[in-house]
Structure 1
Amino acid sequence: MSTDESAAANRAKYDEAAVRDGYRKLTRLLVEKKMTITTMESATSGQIASLITDTEGSSAVLKGAFVTYCNEAKMMQGVPAEILEQYTVYSKETAEAMAAACAKTYEANIGIGVTGTMGNIDPVNPDASVPGQVYFAVVMNGDMQAYSIELEPQPTRLAYKLAVAKKILDVLMPRLNQAFD
């Protein structure tokens, strides 16, 4: 595959219109099933919550969300300092603590925590920062699952955020569908 074909395939995988359509379906399903969702986002800086709220009726399912771009903000919203110290800000454990904290705060059925490094090394956490490495966790009705993904380089920050949003959607929708079967 040529470099141009590879780049096109990567862009197609994270097609913005397809990601937005997936989140419309997610939001409609949550409204229909009367479930609530919240996020605590670092690497995606609110992109997941934004995608959810792009659909009419989303106020019935998203009561609030947190953008916690620095460690202090994560701690202010309930992530234990010990987790950050022991596992670093870039870890499954931190993503789990983020998901649990936001779900607890908003008494939501689903909590999503996202942390990681997009294209550059984090100057505040250089030893723990690996470009393209993202951790996220989804807690649904008390059942926590955490994930680690490696992203290929993306052309823009938005493309990185959409790539993570797609990965989250890819694990969340089957869990929701299974819960209602």
Structure 2
Amino acid sequence: MIKDTKCEIITVGTELLLGQIVDTNSAWISEVLANSGINVYYKQTVGDNYDRLYSVFEKAQARSNIVVVTGGLGPTDDDLTKDVAAEIFKTQLEIHVPSMDKIQAYYDTRHQVMTENNRKQALGFKGGIVFDNEVGMAPGLFYEYDGTWWFFLPGVPREMKWLVSEKVIPFMKQKGILTEQLFSKVLSFQGIGESSLETKLQDLIRSQSNPTIAPLAGNGYVTLRLTAKASNKVESEELFQPVEQQIMERVGEFFTGYGHVPLELQLMQLCQEKGLTVSSCESLTGGLFASTIVQQEGASAILKGSFVSYTNETKANVVGVPQSILSEHGAVSEPCAKAMAEQTRLKMNTDVSISFTGIAGNQPVDGQEAGTVFIAISSNKGLEVHKMVFSGDRNAIRERSTQEGFKYLISYLKKFY
């Protein structure tokens, strides 16, 4: 009986190493096994070469107690998986009669002559178990050798997935090694970078084993994925609770919810809940803020419109920014950002308006260093502005500015409404 599972996945095929076929099998198998409580420790890909296959199988036998192999079970000369494994196991290959009958019947019903090499697909390990493949020709195989469980599956994804779902997982359950499952909970944070969040939680991340804590950075947000191994959901929640409490004590001020809800969707939900309308005036971002909102269904309920005021002429003649502000302070300035937000709110007749002005290029403008961004928010509750300096190319700065705009606007609405 295997108690502490240490699983390894091996994908076989020279075409995988040449990049002619993308290995999706190992990713899919990893996810299924992880969700079933099986710890996947290693992955290997090896070409159709006897000596290299032998070396890879030998290493897997020495360090893992469950090995899942896909590929190399076909009828051709370079399908060597079973031959190499039989030598490792010190056993023989023998024809599995039901599999042979199935292959023969396939050719008989099509009035075709079966070539001799197709008999190779019906070979199994003497003393092993054969899993019937109902969606393909080559069966799946199981063999236990020196305490390690070996599963051999076809490389064709559809056949592999069927065998894992219908044969391998039920076999593991029957043998009693899938008594626990993996449960996950995702906590989302904004206003704190991945490195800062990780630093504040470093001791928790390092010391936790069940549940584990994994930080993941997104575009303007950070998530923590808590993963617990438990026999049921209630037990997993009992494991999550004390860890989540410790996390909230340290970084709870940045917590925005469970799972990740995009900032634009959070803004829409907040505005709909409070009956608010929004407009924007965008220089630096060039309409990215508004276009991000309109990707969401129901955007017209909150967004009235947007000015893309990329030049000073447009800022003055269309938006209504006083020429004196542009002359004295320049377009990349706090006064200009405030005027853009205020004038847009009045012209669009919205409850709140946000403006973006800054430098996406790599040269200073109006006495401001490259990467400088001003974001202003206007409503009848008050006017506020935020200055920041970003690094990166122009599109990275535009995207970061847009995400920061969502973050500041959400915070503003929660504070005043």
With the length of structure 2 as denominator, give the TM-score of the two structures: 0.37
Aligned match of 2:414: 177
Unaligned runs of 5+ in 1: 1-7
Unaligned runs of 5+ in 2: 1-193, 196-215, 224-259
Aligned with 1:21 (options 256, 259, 262): 262
* Aligned residues between the structures: 167
Amino acid at match of 2:346: K
* Secondary structure at the counterpart of residue 35 of structure 1: coil
Aligned match of 2:38: none
Query: Greater strand percent: which structure?
Result: 2
* Secondary structure at the counterpart of residue 97 of structure 1: helix
Closer, same or farther in 2 for the Cα pair 1:132/1:17, shift >3 Å? Answer: same
What's the CA shift for 1:63?
A: 1.3
Structure 1 CA distance, aligned partners of 2:377 and 2:359? 18
* Secondary structure at the counterpart of residue 176 of structure 1: helix
Query: Greater helix percent: which structure?
Result: 1
How is 1:64-143 mapped onto 2 (pairs within 5 angstroms)? 64-76=305-317, 77-121=319-363, 126-143=365-382
Aligned match of 2:402: 165
Amino acid at match of 2:406: L
What's the CA shift for 1:129?
A: 4.5
What's the CA shift for 1:136?
A: 1.3
What's the Cα RMSD here? 2.5
Q: Which moved more, 1:140-149 or 1:108-117?
A: 140-149
Q: Which moved more, 1:133-142 or 1:16-25?
A: 16-25
Aligned match of 2:217: 12
What's the CA shift for 1:89?
A: 0.8
Aligned with 1:31 (options 249, 268, 272): 272
Amino acid at match of 1:143: G
* CA deviation string 1:19-57 (max 9, x = no partner): 981111101221222111111110011111111212111
How is 1:36-51 mapped onto 2 (pairs within 5 angstroms)? 36-51=277-292
Higher Cα Rg: structure 1 or 2? 2
Closer, same or farther in 2 for the Cα pair 1:159/1:17, shift >3 Å? Answer: farther
Contact map agreement 2:363 2:370 (CA 8 A) in 1: yes
Structure 2 CA distance, aligned partners of 1:47 and 1:70? 16
Contact map agreement 1:31 1:58 (CA 8 A) in 2: no
* Secondary structure at the counterpart of residue 88 of structure 1: coil
Contact map agreement 2:330 2:366 (CA 8 A) in 1: no
* CA deviation string 1:111-138 (max 9, x = no partner): 111111013227xxx4435211011100
Structure 1 CA distance, aligned partners of 2:367 and 2:359? 9
* Secondary structure at the counterpart of residue 217 of structure 2: helix
Aligned match of 1:3: none
* CA deviation string 1:76-96 (max 9, x = no partner): 121110111111111010000
Contact map agreement 2:331 2:366 (CA 8 A) in 1: no
* Secondary structure at the counterpart of residue 303 of structure 2: coil
Structure 1 CA distance, aligned partners of 2:266 and 2:407? 12
- Pick 1 or 2: higher relative contact order, CA cutoff 8 A, min separation 6: 1
Closer, same or farther in 2 for the Cα pair 1:140/1:13, shift >3 Å? Answer: farther
